[in-house]
Amino acid sequence: VRAEGARPSGDAAVDEAYAHLGSTYKLFWNVYKRHSIDAHGLPLIGTVHYGEDYENAFWNGAQMVFGDGDGEIFNRFTIAVDIIGHELTHGVIDTEAALLYQGQSGALNESLCDVFGALVKQYSLGQTARQADWLVGQGLFTEKVRARALRSMSEPGTAYDDPVLGKDPQPAHMRDYVDTPRDNGGVHINSGIPNRAFYLAATALNGNAWQGAGQVWYDTLCDKRLRHDAGFKDFAGLTIQIAGEKHDAAVRRAIDDAWKAVGVLP
Ligand SMILES: [Zn+2]
C-alpha cells in the first residue's frame, strides 16, 4: 500500500510503519554505516492490521508484522517508534552476535533491542541523553491502563502498576535478578539491569546517546569476541575493553561506573 517514496496513504498504521521503519534505517545507516538490518540492504517491509485485535508486533525473520491491539489494553503496535526499532534490532542481532534467547544472553538480546529502539527514537527526535524519557513503548497502552509505558530504562520496575496487568517486574540491580523458568528465563524481566547500565553510561556522558555509549554498544554487538551465550559480565567486560580501544578515558570510565552501579561488576 505504500512503497518507498510514495505519498502518505491516510491509514495511520501504514504511515506510522513507513515512518518508523525509515527512522530505524536512518539511525543504523547515518550513525553506524549499516545498510539495513542484515548490513546488505534488506528491504524493510511491514504488514499492518495483522489478525484481529492482535496484541503484538514481531519480526518474522524476513519482515515486520503489526497487530492493531484490542483497544482495551493495547493501542495499535505501529504507534511507538522504539517498538519498531526494538523488533528490527532482533534482526541485527541475528546477523551479528546471535545471542541465545535464554537466561542472561537472552536478557542481553532483549536489552540491546531496547537500547537501539530508544536510540532510534532519540535520533529521530534529536534528543540528547538527558532530554530523553528513556521509556520503551510509550503510547502503546490505552488510557484505561495505569501505565507510563511497557518498560523504563532509567527506572526499571516503574513503568506500570495496574489492577489487570499487575506491576512492572523488572529489576534495576543484580541483587534483584529474577530466577524464573518463565519467559525463557526472564529475558524481558532481567533486561532491566543492562538497560539501566546503558542509561547511566549515556546520561553520565550526556550529548547524544547514539554516539559515545551507543557507538560502544553497537561495536560490542558486532564484535567477534562476543559469544552467543555471553552473560552480563562478559558483555560488560567487552564494552569496557572496546571503549578503551576506540574511545577516550571518559567514555571508558562512564561505562565502567555504570556496570558497577547496577551490580554487574564488583
Ligand atoms: Zn524483543
User: Is 150 inside any structural domain?
Assistant: yes
Q: Which residues pair with 135 in a beta bridge?
A: 152
**Distance between Cα 150 and ligand 1 center (Å):** 12
Of 173, 188, 178, the closest CA to residue 109 belongs to: 188
DSSP 29-59: IIIT---STTSS-----EEEEETTT---EEE
Of 23, 19, 21, the closest CA to residue 31 belongs to: 23
Overall number of domains in the chain: 1
Q: What is the mean pLDDT of residues 57-65?
A: 89
Percent residues over pLDDT 90 in the chain: 98
Looking at residue 162, its pLDDT comes to 97
In degrees, to the nearest 5, what angle opens at C-alpha 234 toward C-alphas 232 and 238? Answer: 115
Instruction: Residue 213: give the domain boundaries.
Output: 12-261
User: d(Cα 220, Cα 239) in Å, to the nearest integer?
Assistant: 6
User: Is 1 inside any structural domain?
Assistant: no
Looking at residue 261, its pLDDT comes to 98
The Cα-based distances of 212 to 66, 81, 116, 192 in angstroms read: 32, 22, 13, 21
Mind listing the pLDDT tens digit for each residue in 193-216? 999 999 999 999 989 999 999 999
Residue 60 has pLDDT above 90, yes or no: no
Looking at residue 186, its pLDDT comes to 98
Looking at residue 61, its pLDDT comes to 82
Looking at residue 59, its pLDDT comes to 86
**Distance between Cα 92 and ligand 1 center (Å):** 12
**Distance between Cα 106 and ligand 1 center (Å):** 9
Half-sphere exposure of 84 (CA within 13 A, CB side): 34
The C-alpha cell 542481532 sits at 93
DSSP label at residue 168: -
User: Is 144 inside any structural domain?
Assistant: yes
Query: What's the whole-number average pLDDT of the chain?
Result: 97
Looking at residue 131, its pLDDT comes to 98
Residue 91 has pLDDT above 90, yes or no: yes
User: Is 3 inside any structural domain?
Assistant: no
Residue 232 backbone phi and psi in degrees, to 5: -55, -45
- Spatial contact of 136 and 118, defined as CB atoms under 8 Å apart: yes
Of 83, 75, 31, 55, the closest CA to residue 215 belongs to: 31
**Distance between Cα 87 and ligand 1 center (Å):** 6
**Distance between Cα 26 and ligand 1 center (Å):** 20
pLDDT band at 226 (very low <50, low <70, confident <90, very high): very high
User: d(Cα 261, Cα 255) in Å, to the nearest integer?
Assistant: 10
Lowest mean pLDDT: which of 11-25, 59-73, 90-104? 59-73
What's the sign of the alpha-carbon dihedral 162, 74, 51, 117? negative
Q: Residues with Cβ < 8 Å from 40, sequence gap 6 or more?
A: none
**Distance between Cα 89 and ligand 1 center (Å):** 8
The C-alpha cell 546520561 sits at 203
In degrees, to the nearest 5, what angle opens at C-alpha 20 toward C-alphas 3 and 5? Answer: 25
User: Is 6 inside any structural domain?
Assistant: no
Q: What is the mean pLDDT of residues 253-266?
A: 98
Residue 62 has pLDDT above 90, yes or no: no
Mind listing the pLDDT tens digit for each residue in 66-84? 999 999 999 999 999 999 9
pLDDT band at 177 (very low <50, low <70, confident <90, very high): very high
User: d(Cα 245, Cα 160) in Å, to the nearest integer?
Assistant: 39
Q: What is the largest CA-CA distance in the chain?
A: 54
* Domain CATH for 246: 1.10.390.10
User: Is 5 inside any structural domain?
Assistant: no
- Spatial contact of 8 and 37, defined as CB atoms under 8 Å apart: no
Q: Which residues pair with 58 in a beta bridge?
A: 65
Looking at residue 263, its pLDDT comes to 98
User: d(Cα 27, Cα 143) in Å, to the nearest integer?
Assistant: 30
Residue 132 has pLDDT above 90, yes or no: yes
**Distance between Cα 90 and ligand 1 center (Å):** 7
What residues are labeled active site?
87, 188
DSSP label at residue 138: T
**Distance between Cα 248 and ligand 1 center (Å):** 31
Q: Which residues pair with 160 in a beta bridge?
A: 147
List the grid coordinates of 79.
Answer: 504507534
Residue 19 has pLDDT above 90, yes or no: yes
User: Is 266 inside any structural domain?
Assistant: no
